[in-house]
Amino acid sequence: MTFEEKVRTFEVLNTLYRSPGKTSLFKGVPIEMRDRVLSYYNAMGQKVKLRYRGPRKHNTFRSPNTRQSSCLKVDAKTFAVYMR
């Protein structure tokens, strides 16, 4: 990842998906940006945790309240970024 790509990735994250006052750094980031976000933080040497958000299609014996918190990467539409 070049320096310009890192800067663009951070600008997009900071302007569109920032979550001020929350525990997460960014929220509502589309799943298509997952690899870019991970490579950005790996290049910076920071460890982050991704929490996948969206409907869970494999919800056998699950209540509707826990679907988002137990979303699988396969079913995710967005994700949130947390510091480790």
Find tokens 């299609």 and name the residue: 57
Backbone CA torsion sign across 22, 27, 55, 60: negative
Return the domain boundaries, the chain.
3-83
Residue listed under structure tokens 């460890």: 47
What is the token pair recorded at 23? 């525990």
User: In angstroms, how far is CA 52 from the centroid of its own chain?
Assistant: 6
**Of 2, 41, 46, 44, which Cα lies nearest the Cα of 29?**
41
Q: Render each residue's pLDDT in the chain as its tens digit; 84 residues.
A: 777 887 888 888 888 888 877 788 899 999 999 998 998 898 889 999 999 988 766 656 656 655 556 678 888 899 999 998
Strand partners, 48: 83
pTM for this entry = 0.77
